[in-house]
């Protein structure tokens, strides 16, 4: 695995990572093992942190891998790496556990919540169709939880906008009437609204990301087992991809709401420096949401292209 830094030279090679690859590659040529999976990060990095010489070495090494016939993957963020790595490891496990006589996969991963249910565990370990259906069901549950988080963020953003509007009107009235106490109360409403919204984002954004990752992992595992066991007719595509696309549509709507909320921030808080810290924190969280939505959009499209 490499990013923009090639590494520190060893006595024999340009870096420890390169040395590990060379040893593994020679073994693979001679003995057929180990299998090699190499990943290059395309994550955006500040140009100030990039060493041009190191980056050139990474580029040259990546080119050499291609010339050697070593297939490598590139990823843009942590979730992309996780999904690609999970897919490749799952595929490797399927190959290892494939029944030598029938060619069908055996030993589908058991439901970890059912370790005390031996008959149930045996069923899903030996019956690929049941394993696929349960994995799809689990993916749908995670998608539903993701949708719930998304709705809660949307409601919280809409509530914040209403509270800001109300507090702004009260602040303007207090200024016209010259009533300091009313102005203080309006400022307190501003602060409480921002604090409540910030807490919602802190709680919901990580949970939303976690549910998305869990749903995609379950769905990916299900589709790999289905494909390897020829179960396309028994477990059709209907509804499998619709859920992922529906989630993406909802996220794109959330991005528009975040943009709208940011516009409210810019119009209301530029003249209220006392709230600058709160608004900066929320602006950063909003940016995290937009980056997440962009990542999901890219990953869902890639996922559908790979499996449809």
Mean pLDDT of 152-178: 86
| pLDDT score for 98 | 57
DSSP per residue, 206-224: HHHHHHHHHHHHHHHHHHH
pLDDT above 80: residue 292: yes
| pLDDT score for 15 | 92
Strongest mean pLDDT among 21-35, 88-102, 117-131, 271-285: 21-35
Annotated domain spans of the chain = 16-97, 122-307
pLDDT tens-digit series, residues 37-75:
888 887 766 667 777 888 889 889 988 888 888 877 787
Query: Is residue 222 within 8 Å of 132, Cβ to Cβ?
Result: yes
**Residue 178, phi-psi category: left (phi > 0), alpha (psi -120 to 50), beta (remainder):** left
Q: Which residue has the higher pLDDT, 86 or 94?
A: 86
User: Chain-wide mean pLDDT for the chain?
Assistant: 78
CATH 3.40.220.10 is the classification of domain 122-307: no
Residue 175, token pair as written in the block: 């200024």
pLDDT above 70: residue 173: yes
pLDDT above 70: residue 274: no
Residue 126's alpha-carbon distances to 45, 97, 112, 122, 236, in angstroms, are 45, 11, 15, 6, 20
Split at pLDDT 50, 70, 90, the class of 110 is: very low
**Lowest model confidence (mean pLDDT) among 114-118, 164-168, 203-207:** 114-118
Q: Which residue has the higher pLDDT, 280 or 22?
A: 22
Which residue, 162, 195, 219, 179, is CA-closest to 285?
195
**Measured distance CA(196)–CA(58) in Å, rounded:** 46
In which residue are the tokens 């009235």 written? 173
| pLDDT score for 100 | 45
| pLDDT score for 20 | 92
**Measured distance CA(25)–CA(8) in Å, rounded:** 20
Mean pLDDT of 248-257: 79
What percent of the chain has a predicted confidence (pLDDT) above 90? 5
pLDDT above 50: residue 99: no
Which residue, 169, 180, 198, is CA-closest to 280?
198
**Measured distance CA(150)–CA(145) in Å, rounded:** 9
Mean pLDDT of 197-210: 89
What percent of the chain has a predicted confidence (pLDDT) above 70? 81
**Measured distance CA(131)–CA(229) in Å, rounded:** 11
**CA 132, 119, 141: angle at the middle one, nearest 5?**
35
Mean pLDDT of 109-130: 65
Query: Is residue 279 within 8 Å of 178, Cβ to Cβ?
Result: no
């Amino acid at each position: 695995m490499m990013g923009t830094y090639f590494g520190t030279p060893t006595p024999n090679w340009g870096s420890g990572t390169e040395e590990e690859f060379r040893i593994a590659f020679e073994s693979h040529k001679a003995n057929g093992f180990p299998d090699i999976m190499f990943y290059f990060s395309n994550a955006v990095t500040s140009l100030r942190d990039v060493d041009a010489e190191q980056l050139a070495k990474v580029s040259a090494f990546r080119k050499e891998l291609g010339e050697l016939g070593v297939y490598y993957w590139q990823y843009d963020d942590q979730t992309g790496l996780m999904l690609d790595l999970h897919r490749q490891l799952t595929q490797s496990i399927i190959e290892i556990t494939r029944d030598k006589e029938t060619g069908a996969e055996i030993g589908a991963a058991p439901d970890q919540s059912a370790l005390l249910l031996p008959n149930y565990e045996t069923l899903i370990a030996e019956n690929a169709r049941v394993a696929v259906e349960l994995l799809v069901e689990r993916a749908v549950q995670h998608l539903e939880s993701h949708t719930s988080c998304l709705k809660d963020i949307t409601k919280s953003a809409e509530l914040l906008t209403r509270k800001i509007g109300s507090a702004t009107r009260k602040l303007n009235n207090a200024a016209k009437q010259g009533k300091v106490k009313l102005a203080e109360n309006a400022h307190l409403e501003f602060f409480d609204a921002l604090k409540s919204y910030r807490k919602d984002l802190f709680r919901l954004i990580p949970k939303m990301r976690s549910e998305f990752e869990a749903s995609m992992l379950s769905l990916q595992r299900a589709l790999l087992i289905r494909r390897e066991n020829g179960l396309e007719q028994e477990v059709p595509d209907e509804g499998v991809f619709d859920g992922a696309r529906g989630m993406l549509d909802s996220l794109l709507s959330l991005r528009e709401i975040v943009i709208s909320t940011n516009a409210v921030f810019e119009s209301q808080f530029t003249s209220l420096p006392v709230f600058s810290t709160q608004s900066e924190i929320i602006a950063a969280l909003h940016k995290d949401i937009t980056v997440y939505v962009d990542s999901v959009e890219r990953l869902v499209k890639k996922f559908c292209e790979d499996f449809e």
